[in-house]
Amino acid sequence: MKLNRCSIIVGLLLLSLNGFAQELLTKERALEITLENNFGIKIAKNNLEIAKNNTSIYNSRKLPTLVLNSGANYSRNNQSLTFTDRDTGNDSEISGNGVVAKTYNSSLGVNYTVFDGFGRKYNVEQLKKTYNLTELQARETIENTYLQLFTAYFQIARLTENKNNLKEALIISKQRLQRAQYQYDYGQSTKLEFLNAQVDVNNDSISLIAAKQQLNSAKRGLNVILGSKNDVSFDVETEVEYNKMLNFEELKSKTMQNNALLKQNEQNIAISEFNIKINKANYLPSLNFNTSYGFNRTENENLINPFGAKLITSDGLNAGLNLAWNIFDGGVIKTRVANAKITLDNQQILLDQQKVNIENNLKDTWEKYKNQLFILSAQEQNVQSNQNNFDRTQERFKLGQITSVEFRQAQINLINSKTALNNAIFDVKLIELQLLQLSGDILNVKF
């Protein structure tokens, strides 16, 4: 009997030690860490940097190209020359072995496209639209990460509250076990009451252990989103604040204007429109300007031709314009333009489809939100009723007016109602986050 009493006391002490506060991870700090370390956000930022580089003037083909060429050549050949005398008609031959010639050359050339049918202009505009698209893709990534982060964060908060409820239930069950132990020791109750209380303590302990394991697993999942390699020894804020939501029509209007997926589809349409213009630019002629300055030097070490020059040098400036017009290319450009128009049509269809999908998703989410608010209100009333019922049952149990089975049922009803209320509290918040993401407002909300 003494051993059982000691076990109860040690259990209560361990339970209290587990309640010591760990490091508190606030919502603001979690968001700060995520924006800095999250792997998906890092990739999105790098993609945005690439798109920014692509819009630079250095990728616009508006600048001239400057090319430096230089070279040297060495030759050693056997040569022979045959001469015909005009007066006599006789031939004479001069030959030499190992005739050496050295040639050096260098040139600096500038090329510039004066006109290319406006293709360069449209290409720059298309790159700007591509940058805008990448910005929206990065925004979508961050929005999804926000949703993942706070879904995981509030899930931990939910599990923390559920664990606390189970912890309170275990304390009550242990108090009941202690009471049953005393009553049995003094002959005031049967051993059945003690055994029932012991079984309930064991069941509540198992439920608490399972809740702790689930909580630690959720914390490890949050660490992945945070991009952190730390352990799970942190607590989260469990208070929930709701944002004031618009009515459905206003929310729908905002969603159709700001939703990240719809904005991306709109940018894809703009990109496709410029793609048509870029391909049509190939119908027009192109005008190119080029200029170069060149230097050449040839050294002949041992001439066999008496009339040859031992040293030849030349340098000078050259410039020119080149006009090219591809009048007919077999229909390649025509095919590209036709396909670009079809691509534009497909992008418009995708936009219309996305609008329907998002509107339906918004309707479903809004309906869940309103229903969940009703459930939250009902669960609050249930907890109050079950708490009152448990308080009365506990008093009657202490007076011996009801059995332990009735007491346990009242306790289970209270635990279940608290858990249901806790779930409802966080379900409302998670659905609210989904609505904020759909409307494009999730990045503007302070948590």
Specify whether the CB–CB gap between 47 and 137 falls below 8 A: yes
pLDDT score, position 304 = 65
Which range (78-87, 207-216, 433-442) has the least confidence? 78-87
Length of the chain: 447
Whether 199 shows a pLDDT value over 80: the answer reads yes
Closest to 112 (Cα-Cα) out of 416, 320, 256: 320
Q: How far apart are the first and last CA of the chain?
A: 52
pLDDT-above-90 percentage for the chain: 68
Whether 132 shows a pLDDT value over 60: the answer reads yes
Whether 44 shows a pLDDT value over 80: the answer reads yes
pLDDT in tens, 3-18: 344 444 334 434 443 4
pLDDT score, position 308 = 65
Name the amino acid, one letter, at 138: A
Q: Which fold has domain 2-61+116-285+331-444?
A: Outer membrane efflux proteins (OEP) (1.20.1600)
Specify whether the CB–CB gap between 101 and 301 falls below 8 A: yes
Q: Tokens 């005009």 label which residue?
A: 86
Closest to 232 (Cα-Cα) out of 244, 223, 242: 223
pLDDT category at 19 given cuts 50, 70, 90 is very low
What's the rounded Cα separation, in Å, for the pair 347 and 276? 13
Whether 249 shows a pLDDT value over 90: the answer reads yes
> What does the domain layout of the chain look like in residue ranges?
2-61+116-285+331-444, 68-113+288-324
pLDDT score, position 83 = 67
pLDDT score, position 305 = 64
Name the amino acid, one letter, at 415: I
Alpha-carbon distances, residue 9 vs 175, 203, 254 (angstroms): 10, 18, 58
What's the rounded Cα separation, in Å, for the pair 83 and 31? 92
What's the rounded Cα separation, in Å, for the pair 13 and 139? 49
pLDDT in tens, 290-339: 999 999 988 877 766 665 667 889 889 999 999 999 999 999 999 999 99
Write phi, then psi, for 96 (nearest 5 degrees).
-155, 145
pLDDT score, position 59 = 92
The pTM of the full predicted model, rounded to 2 decimals, is 0.80
Average pLDDT over residues 202-215: 94
Mean pLDDT rounded to a whole number for the chain: 88
Q: Tokens 């309170």 label which residue?
A: 168
What's the rounded Cα separation, in Å, for the pair 389 and 393? 6
Phi-psi region of 89 (alpha: psi -120 to 50; beta: other; left: phi over 0): left
Which range (58-62, 363-367, 425-429) has the least confidence? 58-62
Which comes out higher in pLDDT, residue 299 or 236?
A: 236
DSSP for 65-111? Answer: EEEEEEEEEEEEEEEEEEEE-TTT--EEEEEEEEEEEEEEEEEEEEE
